[in-house]
Amino acid sequence: MTADLIAVVLLLAVTAYACAGGTDYGAGFWDLTAGGTERGRRPRWLIDHAMAPVWEVNNVWLIFVLVMMWTGFPVLFQTVFSAMWLPLALAVVGMVLRGAGFALRKPSRQLAGRRLYGALFAVASLVTPFFLGAAVGGIASERVAPGTEASADIWTSPTSLVFGLVAVATTAFLGSVFLTGDARRFDAPDLVDYFRRRALCSLAVLTVLAVVTGFVTHEDAPYVWRGLTHGLGLFFVVLAGAAALVTVFMLLRPPSTWMRVTAIGVVASAVIAWGMAQRPYLLPTSLTVADAAGSPATLTWLAIVTLVALVLVMPAVALLYWLDARGELEELTDAELRGGSSTTGDGPSPGL
Amino acid sequence: MSTSLHLLADAPAQLLPARELMAFTLASHIILVPLGVAFPFITLVMHYRGLRRKDATALLLARRWSAVMAVQFALGIVTGTVLSFEFGLLWPGLMGRWGDVFGIGFGVEAWAFFLEAVLIAIYLYGWRRLKPRTHFLLGLPLPFAALLGAFGILAANSWMNTPQGFSLDSGGNPVDVNVWKAIFTPMFGPQYWHFVVAMVLTAGFVVAGVYATGWLRGRRDRYHRLGFAVPFTIAAVATPVQFVLGDSIARSVFHKQPVKFAALEIVWQTDTRVPEYLFGRLHEDGTVSGGIKIPLLDSVLAGFSPDTKVVGLTSVPADQRPTATQATIAHWAFDIMVLIGSVLVLLALWYGFVWLRHRRLPASAWFYRSAACAGVASVVAVECGWIATEVGRQPWIVYQNMRVAEAVTSTRSTTLWIMLAVVMVVYVFLFGSFLVILLKMRTRWRLTDLQQASADTGPPEEDLPYGPRAPVPVGDVPAGDGPPAGDGAGQSGGDRP
């Protein structure tokens, strides 16, 4: 019972990471594809500003997923990390370069430095979700089972590859939808259209990939395929499809906050559909929730800790996102780090 | 234990690279930890001073420190994420068997860290628009979130040192987990407080060290004096406290982990009237070469009497204790830590004495030379403390319950060596860039301070960071032809491509 609850919490945490982290990786994707220094200057400017206050928080979801895995379902953690070590190792290298690239790009002033860190950030934003998706694909296609030997090529199955691509497309979709909203918030109408077009394109690509995923899972991941086409799994698949249609409708109209909600709806429903399709397995056909569950006392405490944390953390997260959406969060400018009022010295500066 | 003996005989080839990789990434992460845990606290103290006394210099320092914090915290997040991946990538055996026994601490830590990330984002990005009071109050929970995060990590580590809160079934798997007992293990209290105070004093000395260097180079204005005095005072208060705590944790190790204590003090045979060796090297046959031998002192330190019986390394079979080399490493790390701690106490006393006597900062250049070194020295001490506690526990990953060799992944050693090489290159690049960027920030600030000094128009009291200001740059997206790049001084940081 508690194990099921914790499994649901784990699935929700994965969903939260897919949405929050996905948005973040997506911003990196559009940074990568924004073109040369001059052409990509405005989109990159927006990406920098929009991401800055929240990216760390977005990525902390992942830590929480890992902790839930090893505390709640130690065998799951052990098995996944043994069997899928290569994609996960590559993903973590990507994460390091990405976080560092982003953090270091902001304070560096020289063009060469900004280019180097920016390129690191952008490429890593593409690579990391691909490998995380590939690891999930390995789980869905029943290739990861307790006792699976560490092998370097287990993740190169069709399901893994297509899941990796879906992950990248998802991040691109989320990123562009959120950036459309940010462009409106930062009063940049040209960027609204810029990212709106990209959101529609990436949603189209995502739809195509979803169909491909359907064919591939039919052959390669029969258990998940059955789950996705029956019962709750099917319900969430349909929900994701409906949310996608509403998102298209929203994107064609003047931008509003609701398109973010529906875009999140698409991704969240898809992730939950996958989780539902796997029931009652954590690793399809080899490890059930009940088999993988850690000690009952620990699970109870994990539930308590989660509950207390929700009470503590959620108001703070809500405050952060609220302040951010209201434009209350601004990074410090050089002027403010200078120690004088902005009127002394060189007069009203062009940048301000 | 028969399997263990077998495992010791042929330690898997991947053990060494896995261990090196973990050690390297953890040692790198540790450099950032003191700043991560205690820098927000120090910054808030400065911030409070600035608000309370309407001190523009203090507010400027707090703002600049928070700009440093932004970069450092981001780097801490990525290096920390690497560690949580490595639990699975390198030590699947540890997490698979014991995850549900000691993982709950990490659960607390994850949420605390989450809270910290949220609060730090609000604090860093709240300077401009939030009301001064609101902004400060929203930053106030930060040190507590940091303490909570440290609670989780230290609970996990002290459990590895003194595991409890479970019983083993016939297959050797833990059952009947008592989470409460698994968190509050015998070593938890001593380790936790020792760690927290270490973080505070290290962060204090590191930050103060920067301004002490400035003082030595002739920058002795109020900005540098204040930037030195606040963190140094915090560190100077913490140092004597740490001396007492350090003494007490050593005695806890003596009682709860006698074999580790034997390694730290290179005690070979269980005996009374045991001498203390300062440094020196332990050989496989139990002899000690080099070092300074002080008769009776080890027994006296452990139990306040020369007749105290100290357990030696030979009290357990060779496969259940650190090797002579490991013991020597742990011993040196321990001695270096104690030595640095003692010198820092003297430095703190010097500072306190001058303050009580003259109500001013010390004027001696030697004081500032020592203070400039204190930052680096205290980071070295933190690293040594970590080495002492980890190497002293060998060959166990979970003391007396699981060997490091049993926990290691089955990934091939070649791939792990490649991973280590990649990670080393990446980390050298990361930390190098971090340092370069800090130095550049410093240079920029120094230049603008000089300009400020030459073109100052109003009294500094009016230069508060809050209140009406020029409009935010968001409405002014640089459209294709932005402002000329040469005029960087007034340009806001973010909107340069």
Q: Which domains does chain A carry?
A: 2-286 (1.20.1630)
More confident residue, B455 or A196: A196
Residues 6+ apart with CB under 8 A from B151: B105, B108, B109, B112, B192
- Contacts of residue B491 in chain A, CB cutoff 8 Å? 334, 349-351
pLDDT of B453 reads 67
Q: Distance (Å, rounded) from C-alpha B71 to C-alpha B495?
A: 18
User: Does residue B110 fall inside a structural domain?
Assistant: yes
pLDDT above 50 for B253: yes
Q: How many CB atoms are closer than 10 A to CB A48? A: 23
pLDDT of B273 reads 80
Q: Distance (Å, rounded) from C-alpha B300 to C-alpha B298?
A: 5
Q: How many CB atoms are closer than 10 A to CB B303? A: 16
Helix (H) or strand (E) holding B110: helix B92-125
User: Does residue B163 fall inside a structural domain?
Assistant: yes
Structural domains counted in chain B: 1
pLDDT of A269 reads 92
Angle at B149 between CA B144 and CA B153, to 5 degrees: 145
pLDDT of B14 reads 83
pLDDT above 60 for A145: yes
Q: What are all long-range contacts of B360-363, with beta carbons under 8 Å and residues at least 24 apart?
A: B361/B225, B361/B228, B361/B229
Q: Distance (Å, rounded) from C-alpha A177 to C-alpha A19?
A: 12
Q: Which of A97-111, A334-348, B17-31, B338-352 shows the lowest per-residue confidence on average (mean pLDDT)?
A: A334-348
- Contacts of residue A342 in chain B, CB cutoff 8 Å? 469-470, 490
Predicted confidence (pLDDT) per residue in B191-249, tens digit: 899 999 999 999 999 999 988 888 888 888 888 888 888 899 999 999 989 888 988 88
Taking an 8 Å cut-off on Cβ atoms, the answer to whether A351 and B85 are in contact is no
Give the nearest chain B residue to A333 (CA atoms).
Answer: B492
How close does chain B come to A214, measured CA to CA in Å? Answer: 31
Q: Which residue out of B113, B125, B406 would a mutagenesis test of the A interface target, given it has the greatest number of A Cβ atoms within 10 Å?
A: B125
Q: Residue B429, Cα to own-chain centre: how many angstroms? A: 21
- A204 touching B, CB under 8 A? no
Cβ within 8 Å of A, B 40-79? 56-57, 60, 63-64, 66-67, 70-71, 73-75, 77-79
Residues 6+ apart with CB under 8 A from A67: B84, B103, B106, B107, B109, B110
Cβ within 8 Å of A, B 128-147? 128-130, 138
User: Does residue B247 fall inside a structural domain?
Assistant: yes
Taking an 8 Å cut-off on Cβ atoms, the answer to whether A339 and B437 are in contact is no
Q: Which domain covers residue B359, as residue numbers?
A: 15-255+346-453
Helix axes A2-32 and A85-105, enclosed angle (nearest 10): 50
Taking an 8 Å cut-off on Cβ atoms, the answer to whether A71 and B445 are in contact is no
Instruction: Give chain A's mean pLDDT.
Output: 81
Copy the structure tokens of residue B164.
């409890």
Taking an 8 Å cut-off on Cβ atoms, the answer to whether A327 and B474 are in contact is yes
pLDDT above 80 for A275: yes
pLDDT of A26 reads 86
Among B80, B492, B31, B429, smallest CA distance to A120 is for: B429
Q: Which residue out of A10, A54, A56, A321 would a mutagenesis test of the B interface target, given it has the greatest number of B Cβ atoms within 10 Å?
A: A56
- A344 touching B, CB under 8 A? yes
Give the nearest chain B residue to A96 (CA atoms).
Answer: B78
User: Does residue B272 fall inside a structural domain?
Assistant: no
Nearest to B111 among A46, A309, A327 (CB): A309
Length of chain B: 497
Q: Which residue out of A117, A331, A346 would a mutagenesis test of the B interface target, given it has the greatest number of B Cβ atoms within 10 Å?
A: A331
Task: Look at the block and give the residue holding tokens 């899972």.
Answer: A217
Copy the structure tokens of residue A207.
């739809």
User: Does residue B492 fall inside a structural domain?
Assistant: no
pLDDT of B262 reads 86
Predicted confidence (pLDDT) per residue in B141-188, tens digit: 888 988 888 888 888 888 888 888 788 888 778 877 787 888 888 888
CA distances from B429 to A32, A117, B71, B416 (A): 21, 11, 15, 20
DSSP letters for B141-182 = THHHHHHHHHHHHHHHHHHHHS--S-EE-TTS-EES--HHHH
Cβ within 8 Å of B, A 245-284? none
pLDDT of A80 reads 87
Cross-strand pairs, B398: B402
Cβ within 8 Å of B, A 42-61? 42, 44-46, 48-49, 52-54, 56-57, 59-60
Predicted confidence (pLDDT) per residue in B443-497, tens digit: 888 888 777 766 654 444 334 444 434 333 333 333 333 333 333 333 333 333 3
pLDDT band of B10, cuts 50, 70, 90: low
Task: Look at the block and give the residue holding tokens 């056909």.
Answer: A285
Predicted confidence (pLDDT) per residue in B61-106, tens digit: 888 888 888 888 888 888 888 888 888 888 888 888 888 888 888 8
- Contacts of residue B457 in chain A, CB cutoff 8 Å? 343-344
Taking an 8 Å cut-off on Cβ atoms, the answer to whether B411 and A150 are in contact is yes
pLDDT of B199 reads 92
Q: What's the average model confidence in pLDDT over B370-399?
A: 89
Q: Which residues of B271-288 are buried (b: 16+ CB within 10 A; e: fewer)?
A: eeebbbbeebbbeeeeeb
pLDDT above 60 for B396: yes
Decide: B476 and A351 in contact? Cβ < 8 Å.
yes
Taking an 8 Å cut-off on Cβ atoms, the answer to whether A187 and B475 are in contact is yes
Predicted confidence (pLDDT) per residue in A278-314, tens digit: 888 888 888 888 887 878 888 888 888 888 888 888 8
User: Does residue B301 fall inside a structural domain?
Assistant: no
- Determine if the peptide bond prior to B40 is cis (ω within 30°): no
pLDDT band of A336, cuts 50, 70, 90: low
Q: Distance (Å, rounded) from C-alpha B59 to C-alpha B472?
A: 20
**Strand, coil or helix: B490:** coil
Q: Distance (Å, rounded) from C-alpha A337 to C-alpha B305?
A: 57
Residues 6+ apart with CB under 8 A from A18: A170, A267, A268, A271
User: Does residue B262 fall inside a structural domain?
Assistant: no
Q: How many CB atoms are closer than 10 A to CB B52? A: 10
CA distances from A220 to A129, A143, A214, B151, B183 (A): 21, 10, 10, 45, 44
Nearest to B494 among A49, A95, A336 (CB): A49
Q: Distance (Å, rounded) from C-alpha B162 to C-alpha B192?
A: 14
Nearest to B114 among A42, A298, A313 (CB): A313
Task: Look at the block and give the residue holding tokens 């927000």.
Answer: B40
Decide: B317 and B362 in contact? Cβ < 8 Å.
no
pLDDT band of A109, cuts 50, 70, 90: low
More confident residue, A349 or A297: A297
Residues 6+ apart with CB under 8 A from B32: B72, B75, B76, B79
Please report the ipTM that was assigned to this predicted complex: 0.83
Sign of CA dihedral B191, B193, B194, B199: positive
Predicted confidence (pLDDT) per residue in B337-384, tens digit: 999 999 999 999 988 888 888 888 887 888 888 888 988 999 999 999
Q: How many CB atoms are closer than 10 A to CB B83? A: 17
pLDDT of B465 reads 46
Sign of CA dihedral A113, A118, A119, A121: positive
Predicted confidence (pLDDT) per residue in A45-84, tens digit: 888 777 765 666 677 788 888 888 888 888 888 888 888 8
pLDDT of B57 reads 84
Helices vs strands, H then E, count in chain B: 15, 8
Nearest to A320 among B84, B122, B494 (CB): B122
pLDDT of B454 reads 66
